[in-house]
Amino acid sequence: MALRSLALATRKTLTLGLNSTRLTQSRALQTFSLPDLPYDYGALEPAISGEIMQLHHQKHHQTYITNYNKALEQLHDAIQKGDSSTVAKLQSAIKFNGGGHINHSIFWQNLAPIREGGGEPPKGSLGWVIDTNFGSLESLIQNINAEGAALQGSGWVWLGLDKELKKLVIETTANQDPLVTKGPHLVPLLGIDVWEHAYYLQYKNVRPDYLKNIWKVINWKYASEVYEKESA
Amino acid sequence: MATSQNSALLPSQAKFELKPPPYPLNALEPHMSQATLEYHWGKHHKTYVENLNKQIVGTELEGLSLEDIVVVSYNKGDVLPSFNNAAQAWNHEFFWESMKPGGGGKPSGELLDLIEKDFGSFDQFVEEFKSAAATQFGSGWAWLAYKASEKDKKLEVIKSVNAVNPLVSDYFPLLTVDVWEHAYYLDFQNRRPDYISTFMEKLVSWEAVSARLEKAKVQAAK
Burial of B58 (0-12, 13-18, 19+ CB in 10 A): exposed
| Mutate: best of B160, B190, B194, partner A, most A CBs <10 A | B190
How many Cβ pairs closer than 8 A exist between chain A and B? Answer: 52
pTM for the predicted model, two decimal places: 0.90
pLDDT over threshold 60, residue A21: no
The CB density around residue A30, as the number of other CB atoms within 10 Å, is 6
Predicted confidence (pLDDT) per residue in B2-41, tens digit: 444 555 555 545 689 999 999 999 999 999 999 999 999 9
Predicted confidence (pLDDT) per residue in B65-79, tens digit: 999 999 999 999 999
Mean pLDDT of A129-135: 96
Q: Which are the contacts of A209, defined by CB distance < 8 A and separation ≥ 6?
A: A203
pLDDT attached to residue B153: 87
Contact list in A for residue B182 (CB cut-off 8 A) is: 196, 200, 204-205
pLDDT over threshold 70, residue A153: yes
Q: Answer whether A150 touches B (CB < 8 Å).
A: no
Q: Which of A221, A5, A24 is nearest to A123 (CA)?
A: A221
Q: What is the DSSP string of B50-100?
A: HHHHHHHTTSTTTTS-HHHHHHHHHGGGS--TTHHHHHHHHHHHHHHTTB-
Residue in B44, B84, B139 nearest the CB of A154: B139
Task: Check B138 against A200: CB less than 8 A apart.
Answer: no
Q: Which are the contacts of A192, defined by CB distance < 8 A and separation ≥ 6?
A: A107, A110, A144, A148, A156, A157, A158, A211, A214
pLDDT attached to residue A213: 98
Chain-centroid distance, C-alpha B195: 16
pLDDT over threshold 60, residue A128: yes
pLDDT over threshold 80, residue A23: no
pLDDT over threshold 80, residue A84: yes
pLDDT attached to residue B2: 44
Predicted confidence (pLDDT) per residue in A188-208, tens digit: 999 999 999 999 999 999 999
* Residue A34 · residue A57 · CB < 8 Å: yes
Distance CA B202, CA B206 (A): 11
- Please name the residue of chain B whose CA is at the shortest distance from the CA of residue A93: B137
CA distances (Å), B36 to each of A199, B100, B140, in order?
15, 15, 17
* Residue B111 · residue B213 · CB < 8 Å: yes
Sign of the torsion formed by the C-alpha atoms of B41, B45, B47 and B49? negative
Q: Which are the contacts of A87, defined by CB distance < 8 A and separation ≥ 6?
A: A75, A78, A79
Helix, strand, coil % over all residues of chain B, rounded to 5: 50, 15, 35
Contact list in B for residue A152 (CB cut-off 8 A) is: 84, 162-163
Residue in A153, A155, A205 nearest the CB of B44: A205
Residue in B162, B163, B190 nearest the CB of A55: B190
The alpha carbon of residue A212 is apart from the nearest alpha carbon of chain B, in Å, by 19
**What DSSP character marks residue A30?**
-
**What DSSP character marks residue A59?**
I
The alpha carbon of residue A67 is apart from the nearest alpha carbon of chain B, in Å, by 12
Contact list in B for residue A59 (CB cut-off 8 A) is: 189-190
- Please report, rounded to a whole number, the percentage of residues in chain A having pLDDT higher than 90: 86
Predicted confidence (pLDDT) per residue in A30-79, tens digit: 999 999 999 999 999 999 999 999 999 999 999 999 999 999 999 999 99
Q: Which of B91, B35, B151 is nearest to A153 (CA)?
A: B91
Contact list in A for residue B38 (CB cut-off 8 A) is: none
The CB density around residue A118, as the number of other CB atoms within 10 Å, is 22
- Please name the residue of chain B whose CA is at the shortest distance from the CA of residue A152: B162
- Please report, rounded to a whole number, the percentage of residues in chain A having pLDDT higher than 70: 88
Q: Answer whether A89 touches B (CB < 8 Å).
A: no
pLDDT attached to residue A20: 44
pLDDT over threshold 80, residue A149: yes
Mean pLDDT of A131-138: 96
Please identify every stretch of chain B with a pLDDT value under 70, giving residue numbers as ranges: 1-14
